[in-house]
Amino acid sequence: MQELLDDVLGGHRLTEEEALLLMKVKGRDVWEVTSAADRLREEKVGNIVTYVRNQNLHITNICKNLCGFCGFGRPTGSEGTYIHGKKHIQEMAALAKERQVTEVCPLSGVHPDFTVQYYADMIAWVHEVIPEADIHTASPEEVAYAAKQSGMSTKETLETFIEAGLGTLQGTAAEILVDNVRTAICPKKINTAEWVRIIKEAHNLGLKSTSTIMYGSVDDERDRITHLKILRDIQDETGGFTELVPLSYLCQNTKLYTTGKVQGGPTGIEDILMFAVSRLFLDNIDNIQISWGKVGNKMAQLGLLAGGNDLGGTMFCDDVSTDAGGEESDYLNPIEMKRITGNIDRELRQRTTVYEIL
Ligand code: SF4
């Protein structure tokens, strides 16, 4: 293992089998892996920890997919559902402007009635109020469904969104890009090939996107590495990913957990190794985001010592995480971020969505 870690630090590109070995280490070997990831992070991106001043904007929690790992999406007509109209959306956008956010993230379930026109209108409403912000919305899943609803191609759909003011695409709905896992946790979502096709199409149109991995439900270490390999191959081809965001599965209020199909989310060591191996394996993605909303502030700090160099966003609200049982998921004040990073001798800097330092 030590030889392998030295090789990686010397520029060797990990194979899937090698990465799998690192993802499965036990005991104090875990600290060897995180320490190598931390050294590689320092070499590649230095000692700055970045964050983006952003705000989620929840449009609706009605969703046709009802994925087993999600506590947010609800069927039409069920208790607690909402769908916000133009007035509320623009009020939230005005609040984002007051808060001086540089990124607004409209975030929804996949509403059964949403069309390309609906998304374009919604993007335009936000853009009208806060044109200076990056509107970061729409996953490949939403692009595919809106396109189908409207009888358009996904390319035409993406072009329509760009025209309306879309800044960057969300690389969500990736979950685990292994079809038998997708069948178990999100059977109604597009399959791996379709997700890959749409994200490449977006990158080829000049759109940047995040990349994500939602790990720790029914997936195992090999599935996680297969997923990372798919992302690395896409990045080799398009260069369109701004970062990887590992999303630790929050299980509490999700069907997979309440029906006993999983015993819980990932353990702390699984989180830490996910961050570290991502840093070591993804030699072509500079930024590894540690999502404090998923792992909590204390684990986020440790993640920054295991290959992470970004703390994500201020968020201001995150119903997707809180509905699934997440604590400390709504808002992280940059003052607290500074305390977290200062304590590990790193410098906190604000960035844009595409990682320009402000
Ligand atoms: S993860 Fe997204 S698509 Fe799946 S149920 Fe939740 S909101 Fe709907």
pLDDT in tens, the chain (358 residues): 999 999 999 999 999 999 999 999 999 999 999 999 999 999 999 999 999 999 999 999 999 999 999 999 999 999 999 999 999 999 999 999 999 999 999 999 999 999 999 999 999 999 999 999 999 999 999 999 999 999 999 999 999 999 999 999 999 999 999 999 999 999 999 999 999 999 999 999 999 999 999 999 999 999 999 999 999 999 999 999 999 999 999 999 999 999 999 999 999 999 999 999 999 999 999 999 999 999 999 999 999 999 999 999 998 877 777 777 776 667 889 999 999 999 999 999 999 999 999 9
Q: Is 247 in the pocket of ligand 1 (CB under 6 A)?
A: no
Report helix angle 268-281 to 29-45, nearest 10.
40
Phi then psi for 116, rounded to 5 degrees? Answer: -60, -45
Q: List the residue whose alpha carbon is closest to atom 5 of ligand 1.
A: 66
Nearest CA-CA partner of 279 in 248, 307, 247: 307
Residue 320: what pLDDT? Answer: 76
Residue 317: what pLDDT? Answer: 78
Is residue 308 within 8 A of residue 279, CB to CB? The reply is yes
Radius of gyration of the CA atoms of the chain, in A: 19
Is 292 exposed, middle or buried (CB count within 10 Å of its CB: 0-12, 13-18, 19+)? Answer: buried
Ligand 1 pocket, mutate which of 59, 62, 66, 67 (most atoms under 8 A from CB): 67
Could you confirm whether domain 33-351 is CATH 3.30.70.270? no
d(CA 275, CA 291): 10
Ligand 1 centroid–CA 356 distance in Å is 30
Phi then psi for 289, rounded to 5 degrees? Answer: -90, 135
Is residue 349 within 8 A of residue 333, CB to CB? The reply is no
Q: Is 140 in the pocket of ligand 1 (CB under 6 A)?
A: no
Residues in CB range of 91: below 8 A, 6 or more apart:
none
